[in-house]
């Protein structure tokens, strides 16, 4: 391994540890949950860590699988514990947060393979949690939203309606450099471009399929929540919303002007984060009980 690569890996490991220290804060978890339980799910290359959250007043709705963000290279179910707990509480539902293998240790499409296995497991086991067995909901933030949207399309193409809802929090839509370069100097886009160049190289997936280049007609009803100027994906999220609506998909959009990308993790420090997750959870509840 070259010195440059060794230094890059060391920086990545330091970033991962720093994010865990900052975000994996037990006190940030929503209170009043009936159940929080760590489990393991069989994945294609070994067990996947998962954590189940159940609201005290859980309704008869589909199980929601949540995939964490972090650019496919950082974070885990611990860094996103607060988000999932607040979503479970505010939606009066059941949330299963599932980890997946990270890049660069696991190149693309290993991440897709892991979440595919998690979805299959959820259909087989949802009833044991008291959730509906024939449907699931999919959710995620940033890179996790990309995984959720990709799997929702795949599943619903095979079995229409099996994914009843997708919840995309400041979704990463693509890592195509030419599109990021077009707006590099606007709305902190230059930061997003640098991040996406690193993501693409880490995944070994410069051709990671853009959500704007696929047929979206099989997508389920969708909730999209995003930030303002400090959210570099907001223009792509808007383009995705427009494309979904053109495909006939019902979309509910929530905008939080002061929310930065990744800001929903900061429930221990930010009223904006808790308010947004409460509002998104209420939208989830309304959608799943229609």
Question: Catalytic site residues?
Answer: 142, 231, 261
Who contacts 248 (Cβ-Cβ below 8 Å, separation ≥6)? Answer: 217
Interatomic CA distance for residues 158 and 256, integer angstroms: 35
Residues belonging to the chain: 290
Helix/strand/coil percent split, the chain, to 5:
45, 20, 35
Using CA atoms, how far residue 222 sits from 12, 66, 197, 272, 283, in Å, is 33, 14, 28, 22, 10
Q: What's the rounded Cα separation, in Å, for the pair 225 and 169?
A: 5
| DSSP tag of 35 | E
User: Of 112, 115, 71, 67, nearest to 87 (Cα)?
Assistant: 67
Q: Closest Cα to residue 150, out of 98, 126, 115? A: 115
- Classify burial at 259, counting beta carbons within 10 Å of its beta carbon; exposed 0-12, middle 13-18, buried 19 or more: buried
Which residue, among 209, 210, 208, 192, has the nearest Cα to 200 in the 3D structure? 208
Torsion angles phi and psi, residue 243, rounded to 5: -65, -40
Partner residues linked to 94 by β-bridges:
54
Q: Please state, in angstroms and rounded to a whole number, the distance separating the CA atoms of residues 14 and 38.
A: 25
């Amino acid at each position: 391994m070259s010195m440059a690569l060794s230094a890059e890996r060391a920086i990545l490991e330091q970033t991962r540890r720093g994010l865990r220290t900052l975000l994996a804060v037990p006190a940030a978890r929503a209170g009043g949950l009936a159940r929080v339980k760590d489990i393991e799910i069989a994945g294609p290359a070994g067990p996947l860590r998962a954590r189940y959250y159940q609201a005290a007043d859980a309704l008869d709705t589909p199980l929601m699988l949540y995939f964490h963000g972090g650019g496919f290279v950082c974070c885990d179910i611990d860094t996103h514990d607060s988000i999932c707990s607040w979503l479970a509480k505010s939606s009066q539902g059941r949330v299963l947060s599932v980890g997946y293998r990270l890049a660069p240790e696991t190149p693309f499409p290993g991440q897709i393979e892991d979440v595919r296995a998690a979805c299959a497991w959820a259909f087989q086991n949802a009833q044991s949690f008291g959730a509906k067995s024939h449907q699931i909901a999919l959710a995620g933030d940033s890179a996790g939203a990309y995984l959720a949207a990709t799997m929702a399309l795949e599943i619903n193409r095979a079995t229409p309606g099996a994914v009843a809802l997708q919840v995309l929090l400041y979704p990463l839509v693509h890592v195509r450099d030419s599109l990021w370069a077009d707006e590099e100097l606007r709305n902190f886009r230059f930061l997003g471009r640098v991040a996406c160049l690193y993501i693409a190289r880490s995944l070994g997936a410069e051709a990671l399929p853009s959500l704007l280049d696929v047929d979206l007609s099989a997508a389920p009803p969708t909730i999209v929540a995003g930030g303002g100027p400090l959210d570099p994906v907001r223009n792509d999220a808007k383009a995705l919303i427009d494309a979904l609506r053109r495909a006939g998909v019902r979309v509910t959009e929530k905008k939080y002007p002061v929310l930065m990308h990744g800001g929903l993790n900061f429930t221990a420090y930010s009223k904006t984060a808790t308010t947004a997750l409460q509002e998104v959870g209420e939208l989830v509840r309304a959608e799943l009980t229609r």
